[in-house]
Structure 1
């Protein structure tokens, strides 16, 4: 009887097959490993290529484990949230106050002004997180707790990752999702993590 995994393994790349029989071996059952071994033999994959891919996969695995061990818990995330929330509120109130000094409030302008204040609070929220995390990989809260935002592989996030992360913060219940899982909704959707900043 043909190995049930033979077809699946025949669709894998050389790199994926080598990872399966080496660094990811413990994640697969013996029948799957056997099918991967048979496919490698069938393709006659060059041994030097085998060693190169195995070395790269081992390095990637070690890097991932290092990053995963540095992911911060809910307590620190909550402290970050509190600090950032108050800093953002103070910032928004200062800006509203300055604008209020220059724009007189009249009965006619009350509705427009209210709308403007809402837009201002929304704008400062987006700007606060996006600018700081794009520039420094951290907000004021993260500076205090010595943590930073990274991509899943530990690299610095792209601007697009941070923008996605920032707008995902507007999803209802996102602000408390990190209390239940290590990576909150905005982390998960932007493929980012908050880790200890070992450089500090």
Structure 2
């Protein structure tokens, strides 16, 4: 009888095979382990690197568990949202007041266009600048939380930009009622954790 896992294991990377045979061995069916060992032999992978890769995977797993244990709940996220919403409204009001001092459009369409640009521009600028510079917004300063990547590292500017634009997805704010991480966290591969967590 042919091992049904041979095809599956043949599609795994070398590192995935090593992870299966070391750190995650207890999660797999004995036939899957047999297929992984067979694939390792077939690829002639040097098993002397197993311990180094196993240690690396264990460290990554511990880091992920630490991050996951410090992810804040929906209540704190809602407080962050309220504070940031108020700050954003104040910021948008100040910017619109300054713009009105210099520009006096008479066309109703132009007024609407400027209004939309102002609303989205201040929203994007507020979240992007604050989270790129500080890993937190005013709301996160108040609740002592910050944004990190899911693996615990500091997010790149690109991660924050993706996170910021994903906030514009309809129902993103409601996603926190159903899951611990919202849509913009999931798509940008980021989390919000307690600030004291390293």
- Paired residues of 2:70 and 2:197 also in contact (CA < 8 A): no
Q: What per-residue deviation string (whole Å, max 9, x for no partner) do you get for residues 112-160 of structure 1? A: 2232122111100000000001111110111111111111111111111
CA RMSD of aligned residues (A): 1.9
Q: TM-score, normalised by structure 1?
A: 0.90
Unaligned runs of 5+ in 2: none
What's the TM-score, normalizing by structure 2?
Answer: 0.91
| Alignment equivalent of 1:171, drawn from 169, 172, 184 | 169
Whether contact under 8 Å (1:74, 1:180) holds in the other structure is no
Structure 1 counterpart of 2:117: 119
| 1:104, distance to aligned residue in structure 2 (A) | 4.3
1:194 counterpart SS class: strand
What are structure 1's unaligned runs of at least 5 residues?
none
Q: 2:188 aligns with which of 174, 187, 190?
A: 190
Q: Deviations over 1:68-91 (max 9, x none)?
A: 111111111111100100000011
Please give the alpha-carbon distance, in whole angstroms, between the structure 1 residues aligned to 2:63 and 2:70.
11
Provide the residue aligned with 2:95 in structure 1: 95
Secondary structure of the corresponding residue to residue 177 of structure 2: coil
Q: Report the Cα distance in structure 2 between the residues aligned to 1:77 and 1:121, rounded to whole angstroms.
A: 22
| Superposed displacement of residue 6, structure 1 | 1.4
Measured at CA, do residues 3 and 199 of structure 1 come closer, stay the same or move farther in structure 2, by a change above 3 Å? closer
SS in 2 for 1:86: helix
Structure 1 runs, 4 residues or longer, greater than 4 Å off? 41-44
SS of equivalent residue, structure 1 residue 170: coil
- Which one is further off, 33-42 or 131-140? 33-42
- Counterparts of 2:12 and 2:197 in 1: how far apart (Å)? 38
Partner of 1:54: 54
Instruction: State the 1:8 CA deviation.
Output: 1.8
Aligned residues: 198
Separation of aligned partners in 1, 2:86 and 2:28: 48
SS class of match (1:178): helix
Corresponding residue for residue 5 of structure 1: 5
For the residues of structure 1 that align with 2:79 and 2:87, how far apart are their CA atoms?
12
Which one of 156, 159, 162 corresponds to residue 157 of structure 2?
159
Instruction: Give the SS at the match of 2:147.
Output: strand
